[in-house]
Amino acid sequence: MTAVLTGVTAAAVREALGGVVDPELDEPVTDLGFVRSVTVRGADVEVHLRLPTSFCAPNFAWLMVSDARDAVRAVPGVGRVVGERDDHPDSDLINRGLAADADYRGTFGHEAEESLDELRATFHRKAHTAAMERALTSWVRADPTRTEDDVAAVRLGDLPAGRQTDSLLSRRAALGLPTDPSSPVLLGPDGTPPAPEHVALTFRKARSVRVSVDGNAHFCRGLLTTRYPGSETDQVFRPSIDSTLPLEVLR
Amino acid sequence: MYSKDGNDYFVVDAHIALWDARPENQLNIHGKQFIDCFYDYHRNLSPESEVWDYEQYLYQGGEKLMADVFADGIVDHAIFQPARLGEFYANGFGQTEEASALAQAHPDKLTYNHYWDPRDGENGLDKLRENAERFQLKGVKLYTADWHGDSRGWKLNDPMAYRYFEVCRELGIRNIHIHKGPTIRPLDRDAFDVADVDHVATDFTDLNFVVEHVGLPRLEDFCWIATQEPNVYGGLAVAIPFIHTRPRYFAQIMGELLYWIGEDRILFSSDYALWTPKWLVERFVDFQIPEDMTEYAPITTDQKRKVLGLNAAKLYDIPVPADLQVAEADATATGPRDPDAADKNLAMA
């Protein structure tokens, strides 16, 4: 067989990496500034990721680096993929494991008791809860006559078209939750609408999840720029529910 | 005591450390990485005028600690919460001898808490009894993500930990400060998971569980557990410096805490030497929830008084002048402590 002209570009690789999400912050690694470099040599691709501290948990690091490898492998024409995480106590271990195509437990041996599926599922649920709260808080704020107690009646079809609603729908789909317009927006942790007396509490609880996810994202973004001066130019503005004022107002 | 605009505040810094992270005390690369991680927190969240150079950050010593923590007489009392980190530092991270001697020399100003680790087994139980007498312990600091031989962490509801809690109960060590993460290897588990707090708080209702860093980065899980347990408290270490670079995020943290756990269960902590308390107290007294965040009620002066010192003083029986006291809120023992705090229609101002 003759050699195939691949035409793999760094831009195509970066675009693929845009689908890799930090599970905890629910944001693409490209927007967070975590992609340090992308090098393409023919069909071979080398990707380096950098994270905010050396104390970022290795389980999350593993998820991101292995997802990045899988995403880049799916780009048409890509041959060998090297995905590396830089400057972490376990960089060598993670990088060796990935190079050998080992799974997580194969890499960390006795220190890993379970797979990471459950961890990933927990953060998928949190991402959905935060998206649900953003959609509902925006809905309440849009009309001064609406109150917290009204949110139980809101259906997906009542939400305005746009980024927030799209974000909610995609997280619903990822979890296998209903996406039809007649489906209630407010769901409890078990995926069903809460009883009337639990509506306000469920909404409030969702708010604490959103505050936490957004707050962590801002702190991690800040720490990355402290650790890697200049990395802020790679970061994409994270929209806030308080759109008039970002969470971070000082440098 | 801190005074501003005719209001006086009794101040207890519920979380300070006297650490030694100098290269000669580092056992391995992790010792360096740990302090570097702290230093990045410090550089990222501090006002420019409060940023220390790296050398200064590695070790402060008792004299500098006294000058920093009690600068301008703002802080009335401070409590050592040492981390052991025996796998990272030859003589540990928290300096037991130096800190406890300092507390002994200034009993009116300093309280020394020590640590224990259930992986020390039976011998550790004897050591705890010995330390309780030696340091007159009223509290302990537990770090569940600490390494110990091959182990990369433990849980508060491990059977051996319960033996230690029973000894705490017996010896009158009532205040259990819990530190979750950061860590480099609990691997498959979430090192920040606070679920085990729920179990011990239910099983040891006569002990107070102070979750440091208010559970960050798991604020939501912490709030949910704390609201269901009357004996769970939140320490503001690492959360309060957000007041400078991210005041709106800090407002959200305070808003959530006041709603879920209430004004009687939040403790001010500088986490010295991560940050110094002076600027944090000054900023906190001046702080208010932004007007457009109508989902949260404004913070009152009395709430600030409780958070800054009165709540911790109560836990540690630290004498407070009568004119600086504030009555306890008439809050429920469990459930959202201040459900009416917020504007229900979230109207933007």
What domain range includes position A23?
10-111
Q: A209 CA to chain B: closest CA distance, Å? A: 5
Interface contact flag, A216 B336, Cβ < 8 Å: no
| Tens digits of residue pLDDT in B284-294 | 999 999 988 88
Segments in chain B below pLDDT 50: 185-188, 348-349
User: What percent of chain A shows pLDDT beyond 70?
Assistant: 86
A142 at B interface, C-beta within 8 A: no
**pTM for the structure as a whole:** 0.90
For A118-151, the pLDDT digits (tens) are: 888 888 999 999 999 999 999 998 998 998 889 9
Q: In chain A, how many domains are there? A: 2
Q: Which residue among A24, A55, A215 sits closest to B249, beta carbon to beta carbon?
A: A215
Q: Are residues A67 and A124 in the same domain?
A: no
On whether residue B345 sits in a domain, the answer given is: no
Q: Please report whether residue A26 resides in a domain.
A: yes
A23 and A89 housed in the same domain? yes
Domain count, chain B: 1
| pLDDT tens profile A68-120 | 989 999 999 998 888 787 776 667 777 777 677 777 666 666 566 566 788 88
| Same domain membership, residue A224 and residue A127 | yes
Residues 7-26 of A with CB under 8 A from B: 24
Tell me the residues of chain B between 274 and 293 that have a Cβ less than 8 Å away from chain A. Answer: 290, 292-293
- In this prediction, residue B215 carries a pLDDT of 87
Rounded to the nearest 5 degrees, what angle is found at the Cα of B326, between the Cα atoms of B321 and B331?
Answer: 145
Number of H-type helices and E-type strands within chain A: 8, 5
Task: Tell me if chain A has a CB within 8 Å of the CB of B160.
Answer: no
Average confidence score pLDDT of chain A: 85
Interface test with B, best of A22, A154, A202, A212 (most B CBs within 10 A): A212
Same domain, A97 and A186: no
Q: Please enumerate in sequence order all residues whose Cβ is within 8 A of that of B62, keeping only pairs 6 or more positions apart, or say none.
A: B18, B98, B99, B101, B102
Q: Pick A141's closest partner by Cβ from B253, B290, B346.
A: B346
Which residues have C-beta within 8 Å of that of residue B143, sequence separation ≥ 6?
A: B83, B84, B85, B115, B179
Task: Give the closest-approach CA distance of B308 to chain A in angstroms.
Answer: 23
Which CATH number goes with the domain that contains A58? 3.30.300.130
Q: Where are the alpha helices (DSSP H) in chain B?
A: 29-45, 54-58, 61-69, 96-105, 121-135, 159-171, 195-203, 219-226, 242-245, 247-260, 277-286, 301-305, 311-316
Contacts of A147 in chain B (CB under 8 A): 344-345
ipTM of the complex: 0.87
Where a domain ends, among A111, A131, A166? A111
| Chain B neighbors of A204, CB-CB under 8 A | 259, 336
Residues A169 and A214 in one domain: yes
**Residues from chain B contacting residue A90 (CB–CB below 8 Å):** 184-185
Q: Are residues A145 and A159 in the same domain?
A: yes
Task: Answer whether B216 touches A (CB < 8 Å).
Answer: yes
- Does some domain include residue B337? no
Is residue A1 situated within a structural domain?
no
pLDDT digits over B304-332, tens only?
A: 999 999 999 999 999 999 999 887 788 88
Indicate which CATH number applies to the domain containing B104. 3.20.20.140
